[in-house]
Amino acid sequence: MPDLQSGLIDDILEAGWMMNFLRLHMDPYWSNTPGCTPDGHELPNCFSETRFRKYLDEVFIPMAEYAISKGLYVIIRPPGVSPEVIGVEDDYNYADYLMTVWDIMSSHPRIKNRHEIMFELANEPVRIKLADGSVGANTQAHFDVLKEIFQPIVDRIRSNGFHNVLWIPGSGYQAHYKGFAVNPIEGDNIGYAVHIYPGWFGSANGYEEFKSEWDAQVKPVADMAPIVITEMDWADEKYESSWGKGHTGTAGGEGFGANFKKMMDDSGNASWLLFTDAHLLAQFTGEPPAPGEPYTFLNDPEACPWPVYHWYQEYALKDYPRPAFERQSLSDNGDGTYTNPLIHADFPDPDVIRVGDVYYMVSTTMHIFPGATLLKSYDLVNWEYCSNPLEMIASSDAYQLLNGEDRYARGQWASSLRYHNGQFYILFNTLDEGSFLLTAEDPEGLWSLKPLAGSYYDPGLLFDEDGKIYVVHGINTLKMTELNENFEALGHDEVVVERPGEGLEGSHLYKINGYYYIYATYGGWPASQVVFRSANIMGPYEEKFLLDDDNIHQGALIETQTGEWWTVMFYDKGAFGRLPNLQPVAWNDNWPVVGANGQGVTTFRKPDVGREYPTKVLPTNDNFRHYKLGGQWGWNHQADHSKWSLFDRPGFLRLQTAGVVSGFLEARNTLTQRIFAYHSDEIDSYGTIKLHIQEMKEGDVAGLAVFQDPYAFIGVKVVDGEKRLIMENNGLEQTGAAIAEPVIYLRAVANYGSSKARFFYSLDNTSYTPFGSELDMAFNLSIFTGNKFGIFNYATKEPGGYVDVDWFSTEKNFSEERFYDDRFTGYTEEQLTLTRLYVESDNLNMLLGTSKTLNVYAVYQDGHEENVTSSAEFMVSRPDVIKMVYGQLIALKNGTAIITASYEGPLGGSQSLEINVVSKTFPLISGLFNPSIWENGSFNEATGELITGQWGFGGWQYDNGIDLSDYKYIVVQLKQATNSGASFRLFDESSYWSSAATYDLGSQTQLVVDLHNMQKEVGGQMVPANPANLYIIGFWSHGNIPILIDRVYLSNSDDLTPTALKETLRQTSETDIVDVYNLTGVRLKSGVYVKMLRMVCRWGFTSSGTSFWVVRRWS
């Protein structure tokens, strides 16, 4: 990279600009063919792919890498600017040009895995060419074409393995975006790049108009996706140093800069830069002019550099990046390979399925609740928590650790996971209570538990192609049972395989290429994997040995989207438990072949799932600021939920003692999580808690355990009124020093290679002192899960004491201030308790062919409000009249509809409200009738009086276009004749400057437009106007003379009788049948009775898949 550019970056940072990203324009100087003259400013006709590739390596990537080395993110835009007119096909084949550029960029090995690099897909599209050849900028049809241009580019970028943020430009020099709210670019990590200069968005007319135009053009997408402002500046024109000519002004008043900042701050979803010459920014000193000296561009408070510099300083005090956690256990090597174990923690007995592009894996949790942990992945290598579907099995003493009873080494195990006809199923068995079935439509939502009459040991469920349901089950003797739709056995069990005394178990059932396969294991130690095959579900079955290597066994067969086959099994790895293992599968003569050369693979290429996905790490750290426990946590047995809280002291986990017990294994409400190991035995597994102990009572014991059989813990015990350090190891107790401080840090350090655990304490989180003896960790069948960290508090004398856990961390060096934003401390119960919903208006009028943003607000018990539109469910009584997509109501035809919005608060408490929506073609309603389509006019709704500006036009603008071809006539009636020279005009193109079908009103009070015989003048000739594609309709006049409009209506009758509108506004009844949609317009339920919907209406908070990478602003 030229030293000049690196020097500029250094100088800007040294000047004190607290920025965290830059926008890199790949100047076409480097990519244009020498000697070629562009047709216009930076147009792409001189582009040379050879030169682009060369200087991408020599100039642009080094520059981006240097910026990254300085702690900056980089947004890269393509060479040059968009042609004046672009389309799916245009004079420059611009879509193909962009595809070439971004295909090269996203597949480049120095770019594709750099999370610091983002792409802005084009610079300033202006006008959009439709399929009919017409050109415009801001109707839905134009945004639909933009999607046709950009969606294939996004898909190519993703298929190349680049998964960082993509910024999508709008039309009108990147000022128009509302149509993307209706038809957004699809995929993860999608945002929109906006340009703003003084005068744009009505900003020259003060804050209110500025905000109104922003709300109309950009807010619809800002409500659903992040926004970045990639061009913005201002200054007095005398400085000749800025693109935008304006002043800072006052927030909420006049001027540009302060109002811009206010809108960005209020948006909460917008990041922004200063588009000013880098050389000038490097010269900034932060010094005001000396007395008597004139202002300069750099120190004038009314020019952009001075206020922006200081705003960035303010932002940087609170919005700064926190480091990633350092101790992360993962199997993705970052080079297209993975290394087993797939997950270095206890997730045994896996069953895995694929639903669309998502893989789901269930595992055994035994006596841990909530249990039956369900993970999800997009590539079979990187996994996330999806849910813990099993809340409880039975309200018995054994499951609640009461009266000396327990369910250690029992409970849920070896589940079968399936998806069929929109429903997820988890079938599992217990040794004591029999079999159970968990079901859900949303795997991240609520699951229902149903006990079954039969008992199916290690079940394998199959929904056959003929609609029948089967389960294979058993140990040594495998039996096949047909089930009905209620999962009741039909007939008797059929024995299909017998292997007496050989430990045959862990079966899963498949139908592949016409054969039935029982994928099973010979368990115990050592274990191996086999498969049985038959052309008939009831056999006979023939057997094939598959794998006997490193105890890898028991799991699932999975086919990827690309037709590859893989298997996820597990292997026993000592004290840390039974770890998932991923092996390739080939097919030979309709038999699966597992591994490579008869052995399991350790490091191998990742599965081909059609594209690459970013690395994910299962979380372990927790500072207990969320209102729910993270997916990594599970209680030892079913918890007493009245004895723990995340609300009593926000930002802490409060553990009250739950009864008086004799020791750790009897203690209720011990909170556990799996201990993760690493691929290097030299890396220890840390677990540390910060524990507040002021409220412990006599005999209470609280601390941190490594939990299996044997177990050990380090903690605090109250003895004779004194808090003392205690360590218990395999039943032997050791007492240490008295603890006078109210807070103590307790630590356990486990090592996978040695199966040893050591214990430490600290009073300052800096110096840790070892205490007690080492634990020899083991995997004992009396517990039957891998060793876990456990946070506990139990009473041995009297109940009533409690401790507060500030945080748990698996880092060696941890503090909340280092890793978390310390401005947020946690939720209160009042903050999460929903009291009511409201909208700005529950009676809406809409112009046919337009869209309108609907915002639903929730009011909580503490009085605060939130926009919950994105989390609500919507019931549409007439989806043929009103459609809802991404919070946008779209008026499809004349009529009325009732929108029922329903939302359930985080802690429950469902609320609903109804919004009446009326869609009209020619409403004489202020806000829908626009008197200023051209020149400023006025309209009085009460009298129907329109006064246009000079040579002005007022009427109706249909953003999405309307189709009036089903009607014969438009009838225009005036209250009295006008002498304004008025004409009634209809435009079948979106631009006001296109030709219109024109009808002079003269002295008439009634005008009839024959819709199927309309003519307009084009090139001196009269041609038909299209009634199926109308965008603007209304009145032109000389101006400043009233036009008194009585009504405008449609008719299909030669006697001009108004066409009756059959739709009438009414309340929905409980017997009405409706469809239910989410914010994105996806139909969630069809044909639902309103009564039933009101009974079951809910919306859950789900785990993030973090869709977008975004900060509140760039500081």
Distance separating alpha carbons of residues 53 and 108, to the nearest angstrom: 10
What DSSP designation does 335 have?
S
Section 815-820 average pLDDT = 93
Maximal CA-CA distance, the chain = 107
User: What pLDDT is attached to residue 503?
Assistant: 95
pLDDT digit string, tens, across residues 428-467: 999 999 999 999 999 999 999 999 999 999 999 999 999 9
Is residue 1000 flagged as an active site residue?
no
Give residue 1090's pLDDT band: very low, low, confident or very high (50, 70, 90): very low
What one-character-per-residue DSSP string does 170-199 give? -BTTTTB-HHHHHSPPPSSSEEEEEE--TT
Each residue of 499-512: pLDDT tens digit?
A: 999 999 999 999 99
pLDDT recorded at residue 128: 95
Confidence of residue 822 (pLDDT cuts 50, 70, 90): confident
Mean pLDDT confidence for 948-962: 93
Band of the pLDDT at 6, cuts 50, 70, 90? Answer: confident
Mean of pLDDT values over 652-669:
97
In angstroms, what is the C-alpha Rg of the chain? 34
pLDDT of 1102 above 50: no
Average pLDDT, the chain: 92
Q: Is the pLDDT of residue 727 over 80?
A: yes
**Average pLDDT of span 624-640:** 97
- Residue 438 contacts residue 425 (beta carbons within 8 Å): yes
| Residue predicted with more confidence, 947 or 322 | 947
Mean pLDDT calculated for residue range 622-638: 97
pLDDT per residue as tens digits for the range 832-889: 999 999 999 999 999 998 888 899 999 999 999 998 988 899 999 999 999 988 778 9
**The pLDDT of residue 1059 is above 80:** yes
3-state secondary structure of 43: coil
Buried b (16+ CB within 10 A) or exposed e, 636-662: bbbbbeebbbbbebbbbbbbbbbbebe
Is it the case that residue 815 has pLDDT exceeding 80?
yes
Q: Is 558 helix (H, G, I), strand (E, B) or coil?
A: strand
Instruction: Summarize the confidence of residues 235-256 as an average pLDDT.
Output: 96
Q: Is the model's pLDDT at 77 over the cut of 90?
A: yes
Catalytic residue among 223, 505, 728, 873: 505
Residue 1113 has pLDDT above 80, yes or no: no
Residue 432 appears among annotated catalytic residues: no
The sign one gets for the Cα dihedral 146, 148, 153, 158 is positive
Q: Note the pTM of the prediction, 2 decimals.
A: 0.84
- pLDDT tens for each residue of 58-73: 999 999 999 999 999 9
Residue 691 has pLDDT above 70, yes or no: yes
- The pLDDT, as a whole number, for residue 1112 is 24
Lowest mean pLDDT among 95-99, 398-402, 731-735, 1061-1065: 1061-1065
Burial class (CB in 10 A: 0-12, 13-18, 19+), 34: exposed
Give me the DSSP letters along 436-479.
EEEEESSTTS--EEEE-SS--SS-EEEE-TTS-EEEEE-SSEEE
Q: Which amino acid is at 506?
A: G
> Of 41-55, 1043-1057, 1067-1081, which gets the smallest average pLDDT?
1067-1081
Give Cα 871 distance to the centre of its chain: 12
pLDDT tens for 884-927 read 887 789 999 899 999 999 999 998 888 999 999 999 999 999 98
- Work out the pLDDT band at 322, boundaries 50, 70, 90: confident
Catalytically annotated residue among 223, 233, 349, 622:
349
* Tens digit of each residue's pLDDT (9 = 90 or more) over 363-373: 999 999 999 99
pLDDT over threshold 60, residue 1072: no
Averaged pLDDT, 804-809: 98
Which single residue is written with the structure tokens 């097919």?
587
In the three-class reduction of DSSP (H, G, I as helix; E, B as strand; rest coil), residue 938 is classed as strand
Binned at pLDDT 50, 70 and 90, residue 728 comes out as very high
**Local confidence band at 1109 (pLDDT 50, 70, 90 cut-offs):** very low
Percent of the chain at pLDDT > 70 equals 95
Residue 136: the pLDDT is: 87
**What are 740's two structure tokens?**
């006078």
Confidence of residue 4 (pLDDT cuts 50, 70, 90): low
**pLDDT for residue 1098:** 27
With bands split at pLDDT 50, 70 and 90, how would you rate the model's confidence at 1060?
low
* Residue 988 confidence class, pLDDT cut points 50, 70, 90: very high
- Domains annotated on the chain, with CATH: 1-167 (3.20.20.80), 196-317 (no CATH), 348-605 (2.115.10.20), 634-822 (2.60.120.200), 830-920+1072-1096 (2.60.40.1080), 930-1051 (2.60.120)
